Amino acid sequence: NEAGEVVLTLPDAKSSTKPLFEFAPLADREVRSLGFDSSSRYLAAGGDFECVYVWDLKKKKKVRELKGHPVSASVGRVAFSPDSQLIASGASSGAVLLHS
């Protein structure tokens, strides 16, 4: 949303009023990309911040902060590998990183 929060809801209209999970990676920074692992337990978020945040949706907490992109770069793409062992992130600097 506009405040930089990520809100996960179910697709039907009846349950969309109650979020399943909400978090804000960094106040006043936009989230530009989200990626789920193959089990849908972990969610990676990239945006107008130089790292990738990984959230455990079952525990409802941030479990990792993957660094490596330049401070001035925003992370525009994140994706888990099919076996969920790696996370790829692409930034506005042109760098693509693989995180394990």
Q: What is the pLDDT of residue 90?
A: 95
C-alpha 50, offset from chain centre = 12
Residue 38, token pair as written in the block: 């193959």
Q: What is the pLDDT of residue 80?
A: 97
Degrees, nearest 5: CA angle 22-25-28: 105
What pTM does this model have?
A: 0.80
Q: What is the pLDDT of residue 10?
A: 62
Degrees, nearest 5: CA angle 18-78-17: 10
Q: What is the pLDDT of residue 15?
A: 54
Q: What is the pLDDT of residue 4?
A: 61
The CA-atom distances, in angstroms, between 93 and each of 17, 27, 56, 99 are 38, 22, 28, 17
Q: What is the pLDDT of residues 25-76, one digit of tens each?
A: 666 778 889 999 999 999 999 988 888 999 998 888 889 999 999 888 889 9
The CA-atom distances, in angstroms, between 68 and each of 37, 42, 57, 63, 99 are 20, 20, 24, 17, 9
Q: What is the pLDDT of residue 11?
A: 63
